[in-house]
Amino acid sequence: MEARRHVALKDSIRSIPDYPKPGIIFRDITTLLSDPRAFRRAVDALVHPYAGGRIDQVAGIEARGFILGGAIAHQLSCGFVPIRKKGKLPHKTVSMAYALEYGTDEIEIHVDAVKPGDKVLLVDDLIATGGTATAAVNLLRQIGAEIVAACFVIDLPDIGGAQRLRDMGVEVRALMQFEGH
């Protein structure tokens, strides 16, 4: 039954060729989010390994990680921490720059978003190069978090981001994989 569940979830992802540039297939989870059954199954599958365990905070990466992370935090009865693009958070923050294909970007988190030793589950919709996720892990560790795992709906293993996180000692869970870029 598990395999059937994941096939159904994979079928709820829209693939958009040549977006944002030629040769890229964009994996769009908005179709999964708009399907109540698929959305519930995805959240339940991401929550299941951690239910009954001690997770203090779920950290979601802007923007789809907010949607998934909020639902996961609710199910785990824990707090939610937003990781945002630079300049979007109102209180004192720490930031981390990371490389993009062409240039750099920066994410930030409130300095008091977690307490030292808090067990944190990092969530986003997709892991590709891992640039944002590795920056998020570094930010969370900088303010004292213990990263329990990083969870994603989709992994693009050919690009190597999940392996980058594993190389940092982070458990990575993804509900499905798509080959290519």
- Mean pLDDT, the chain, whole residue set: 94
pLDDT beyond 80 at 2: no
- Asked which of 19-23, 48-52, 61-65 is least confident by mean pLDDT, the reply is 19-23
* CA–CA distances in Å: residue 54 to residues 51, 81, 118, 146: 8, 16, 9, 11
Query: Measured between alpha carbons, how far is 106 from 132 in angstroms, rounded to an integer?
Result: 9
pLDDT beyond 50 at 76: yes
Query: Measured between alpha carbons, how far is 32 from 69 in angstroms, rounded to an integer?
Result: 15
Query: Measured between alpha carbons, how far is 102 from 111 in angstroms, rounded to an integer?
Result: 29
Structure confidence at residue 1 (pLDDT): 41
- Positions annotated as catalytic residues are 64, 101
SS3 91: coil
Structure confidence at residue 18 (pLDDT): 94
Query: Measured between alpha carbons, how far is 174 from 176 in angstroms, rounded to an integer?
Result: 6
pTM > 0.95: yes or no:
no
Structure confidence at residue 180 (pLDDT): 77
Per-residue pLDDT tens over the stretch 120-159 = 999 999 999 999 999 999 999 999 999 999 999 999 999 9
* CA–CA distances in Å: residue 28 to residues 15, 49, 53, 72, 178: 6, 25, 31, 20, 12
pLDDT beyond 80 at 73: yes
Structure confidence at residue 4 (pLDDT): 46
pLDDT beyond 60 at 27: yes
Per-residue pLDDT tens over the stretch 40-60 = 999 999 999 999 999 999 999
